[in-house]
């Protein structure tokens, strides 16, 4: 039987409302030890989810606060267990004393994510839905929140369940053939099974195709700032971030390592990466910074190439642009527009596969930043089209999901190829079983304890 757990479910610090949450056997009784309704109905006897107004007491029975409380009995609760919740004023002292009183009444402190972990273990959520809970909490844009809400509502689970069900039926047929070894798979059945495998292969390919969009939505679009030393990259990062994130001096080479920050521009989340100036150097520390800058460039979704608009583009600038355009769409930012000797640069023609846009601006005064934000939002729209919102919740958003889906696809592809080659049913069965096992890990039907521990360790206490 599960232990009774308790936690403060609201963030640390002072707030208008604070929430204490319990789950496990005796949750209502433990809550009743510290909460006394002002009406005639005791909390432990109240109907499910009916809010009661009353007083909150500490361990010694002294009055702490007034507030609201309710109970939810198994299995009709978030965790699938008996739960109780007490809402009072958001004083850290009041909440801490109330939590001490709940522990004295038989509860222990909950671990991070333990409430949601119990919901998963009790079949209230599958693993993709449980991951959506923390994604929803961490969402930094409306699109990310909609994706997480859709996944929590089971959009991704339903897709996976359809594939799982079709492969389960197919495996049952293979098992039947193995039980009767004298019965070969006739050509008509083989054709039908090949069609089923082909459909599931296509479904898994489509699912995996969502992973890039899901990752960008969840982690942000990686936007790397490159340029020669002292071009104004760090000043631009600070201007976009709205605070002094990077050190800015007149000394070239101040930035020795990559500096990252997240910003929301035009409703999209961007992960801005300021890099060390890309140049040849005898300084071993600066060489390490340049190496990290090139690694960041190799991982960029968009590139902001910053140049000093008071100086003509050098051969080094042109080399940087060619390198950037070979990697991703690039925006050339001609900085220092506020100075009188500013001249809009004219990049050399190139045959790179990605696009180049030129924007004049001043990181110092902010002139041109609105144009940059509009341009970035347009580029983000091509990576995360708004039309895809109709499929909210159907995207793979983390490496665990992507790897499991890829293993499932590999299993289905191998089974389809084996069927085409006329291999025996036991060989097909092995591949289909591997695909089913991977899908089971994706939703949590069959998953290792270390994986669940790693997932729920991301959660905050009280959720």
Q: Which residues pair with 15 in a beta bridge?
A: 90
Domain containing residue 321: 217-387
Answer yes or no: do 147 and 37 share one domain. Answer: no
Answer yes or no: do 97 and 150 share one domain. Answer: no
Is 402 within a domain?
yes
Is 322 within a domain?
yes
Residue 282: predicted pLDDT: 54
Is 184 within a domain?
yes
Cβ neighbors of 153 (< 8 A, separation 6 or more) are 393
- 357, 387, 417 — which closes off a domain? 387
If we measure between CA atoms, which residue out of 151, 207, 140 comes closest to residue 435? Answer: 207
Residue 180: predicted pLDDT: 58
Residue 1 has pLDDT above 70, yes or no: no
For the chain, the domain total comes to: 3
Residue 272 has pLDDT above 80, yes or no: yes
Is 223 within a domain?
yes
Task: Say which range, 96-100, 184-188, 249-253, 329-333, has the weakest mean pLDDT.
Answer: 249-253
Which of the listed ranges 206-210, 245-249, 272-276, 277-281 does the model predict with the highest average pLDDT? 206-210
Q: How many CA atoms lie within 13 A of 140 on its CB side?
A: 15
Task: Say which range, 83-97, 185-199, 228-242, 301-315, has the weakest mean pLDDT.
Answer: 185-199
Answer yes or no: do 170 and 148 share one domain. Answer: yes
Task: Say which range, 87-91, 93-97, 325-329, has the weakest mean pLDDT.
Answer: 325-329
Is 250 within a domain?
yes
Q: Which residue has the higher pLDDT, 353 or 167?
A: 167
Q: Return the structure tokens found at 102.
A: 């709940």
Residue 272 sits in a domain whose CATH number is: 3.40.50.300
Mean pLDDT of the chain: 85
Answer yes or no: do 295 and 173 share one domain. Answer: no
- 355, 387, 419 — which closes off a domain? 387
Answer yes or no: do 105 and 249 share one domain. Answer: no
Is 403 within a domain?
yes
pLDDT, tens digit, 9 for 90 and up, residues 313-338: 888 888 888 888 988 899 999 999 98
Is 120 within a domain?
no
Answer yes or no: do 359 and 398 share one domain. Answer: no
- C-alpha to C-alpha distance for 287 and 281, rounded to whole angstroms: 6
The set of long-range contacts for 69-76, using a CB threshold of 8 Å and a minimum separation of 24, is 69/31, 69/35, 69/37, 69/43, 70/46, 71/27, 71/28, 71/31, 71/43, 71/44, 71/46, 72/48, 73/28, 73/48, 75/122, 75/124, 76/48
How many C-beta atoms surround the C-beta of residue 354 within 10 A? 14
Average pLDDT over residues 288-310: 82
Answer yes or no: do 253 and 323 share one domain. Answer: yes
At 186, is the pLDDT very low, low, confident or very high (cuts 50, 70, 90)? low
Task: Say which range, 159-173, 217-231, 380-394, has the weakest mean pLDDT.
Answer: 380-394
- 62, 83, 110 — which closes off a domain? 110
Residue 289: predicted pLDDT: 60
CB of 208 closer than 8 Å to CB of 409: yes
Residue 22 has pLDDT above 50, yes or no: yes
Residue 398 has pLDDT above 60, yes or no: yes
Q: What is the dihedral of CA 289, 292, 297, 298, to 10 degrees?
A: 150
Is 271 within a domain?
yes
Cβ neighbors of 226 (< 8 A, separation 6 or more) are 233, 275, 278, 293, 297, 303, 304, 305, 306, 320, 324
Task: Say which range, 78-87, 156-165, 204-213, 315-324, has the weakest mean pLDDT.
Answer: 315-324
Task: Say which range, 154-163, 259-268, 399-408, has the weakest mean pLDDT.
Answer: 259-268
Average pLDDT over residues 302-311: 90
Question: Could you write out the three-class secondary structure of the chain?
Answer: CCCCEEEECCCCCCEEEEEEEEECCCHHHHHHHHEEECCCCCHHHCCCCCCEEEEEECCCCCEEEEEEEEEECCCCCCCCCCEEEEEEEECHHHHHHHHHHHHHCCCEECCCCHHHHHHHHCCCCCHHHHHHHHHHHHCCCHHHHHHHHHHHCCHHHHHHHHHHHHHHHHHHHHHHHHHCCCCCCCHHHHHHHHHHHHHHHHHHHHHHHCHHHHHHHHHCEEEEEECCCCCCHHHHHHHHHCCCCCCCCCCCCCCCCCEEEEEEECCEEEEEEECCCCCCCCCHHHHHHHHHHHHHHHCCCEEEEEEECCCCCCHHHHHHHHHHHCCCEEEEEEECCCCCCCCCCCCCCCCCCCCEEEEECCCCCCCCHHHHHHHHHHHHHHHCCHHHHHHCCCCCCCHHHHHHHHHHHHHHHHHHHHHHCCCCHHHHHHHHHHHHHHHHHHHCCCCCHHHHHHHHCCCCCCC
Residue 176: predicted pLDDT: 65
At 141, is the pLDDT very low, low, confident or very high (cuts 50, 70, 90)? confident
At 248, is the pLDDT very low, low, confident or very high (cuts 50, 70, 90)? very low
If we measure between CA atoms, which residue out of 116, 124, 363 comes closest to residue 246? Answer: 363
Answer yes or no: do 221 and 202 share one domain. Answer: no
Answer yes or no: do 292 and 205 share one domain. Answer: no
Residue 258: predicted pLDDT: 67
Residue 51 has pLDDT above 80, yes or no: yes
Answer yes or no: do 44 and 171 share one domain. Answer: no
Average pLDDT over residues 10-17: 92
pLDDT, tens digit, 9 for 90 and up, residues 414-437: 999 988 888 776 777 889 999 999
Residue 314: predicted pLDDT: 87
Average pLDDT over residues 93-122: 95
Residue 24 has pLDDT above 90, yes or no: yes
Answer yes or no: do 270 and 313 share one domain. Answer: yes
Residue 17: predicted pLDDT: 95
Residue 182 sits in a domain whose CATH number is: 1.20.120.430
Answer yes or no: do 225 and 200 share one domain. Answer: no
Residue 63 sits in a domain whose CATH number is: 3.30.1360.120
- C-alpha to C-alpha distance for 397 and 402, rounded to whole angstroms: 8
């Amino acid at each position: 039987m599960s232990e009774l757990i308790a936690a403060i479910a609201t963030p640390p610090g002072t707030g208008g409302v604070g929430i204490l949450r319990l789950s496990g056997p005796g949750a209502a009784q433990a809550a009743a030890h510290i909460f006394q309704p002002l009406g005639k109905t005791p909390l432990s006897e109240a109907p499910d989810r009916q809010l009661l107004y009353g007083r909150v007491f500490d361990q010694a029975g002294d009055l702490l606060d007034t507030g609201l409380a309710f109970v939810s009995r198994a299995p009709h609760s978030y965790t699938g267990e008996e739960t109780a919740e007490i809402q009072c004023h958001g004083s850290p002292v009041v909440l801490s004393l109330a939590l001490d009183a709940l522990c004295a009444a038989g509860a222990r402190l909950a671990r991070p994510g333990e409430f949601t972990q119990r919901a998963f273990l009790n079949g209230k959520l599958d693993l993709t839905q449980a991951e959506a809970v923390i994604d929803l909490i961490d969402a930094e844009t409306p699109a990310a929140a909609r994706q997480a809400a859709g996944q929590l509502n089971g959009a991704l689970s339903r897709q996976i369940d359809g594939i799982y069900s079709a492969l389960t039926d197919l495996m049952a047929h293979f098992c039947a053939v193995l039980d009767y070894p004298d019965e070969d798979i006739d050509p008509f059945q083989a054709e039908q099974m090949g069609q089923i495998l082909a459909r599931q292969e296509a479904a898994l390919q489509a699912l995996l195709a969502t992973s890039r969009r899901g990752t960008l939505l969840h982690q942000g679009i990686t936007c790397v700032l490159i340029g020669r030393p002292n071009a104004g990259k760090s000043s631009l990062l600070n201007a976009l971030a709205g605070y002094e994130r990077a050190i800015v001096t007149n000394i070239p080479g101040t930035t020795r390592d990559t500096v990252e920050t997240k910003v929301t521009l035009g409703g999209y989340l961007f992960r801005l990466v300021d890099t060390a100036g890309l140049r040849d150097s005898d300084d071993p520390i600066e060489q390490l910074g340049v190496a990290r800058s090139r690694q960041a460039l190799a991982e960029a979704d968009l590139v902001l190439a910053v140049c000093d608009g008071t100086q003509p583009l050098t051969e080094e600038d042109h080399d940087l642009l060619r390198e950037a355009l070979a990697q991703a769409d690039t925006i050339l930012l001609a900085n220092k527009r506020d100075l009188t000797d500013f001249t809009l640069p004219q990049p050399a023609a190139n045959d790179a596969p990605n696009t180049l846009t030129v924007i004049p601006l001043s990181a110092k005064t902010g002139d041109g930043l609105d144009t940059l934000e509009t341009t970035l939002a347009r580029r983000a729209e091509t990576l995360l089209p708004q039309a895809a919102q109709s499929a909210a919740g159907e995207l793979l958003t983390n490496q665990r999901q992507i790897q499991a889906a890829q293993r499932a696809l590999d299993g289905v592809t191998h089974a389809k190829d084996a069927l085409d080659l006329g291999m025996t049913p036991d060989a097909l069965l092995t591949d289909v079983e591997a695909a089913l096992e991977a899908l089971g890990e994706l939703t949590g039907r069959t998953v290792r304890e270390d994986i669940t521990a790693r997932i729920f360790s991301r959660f905050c206490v009280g959720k």
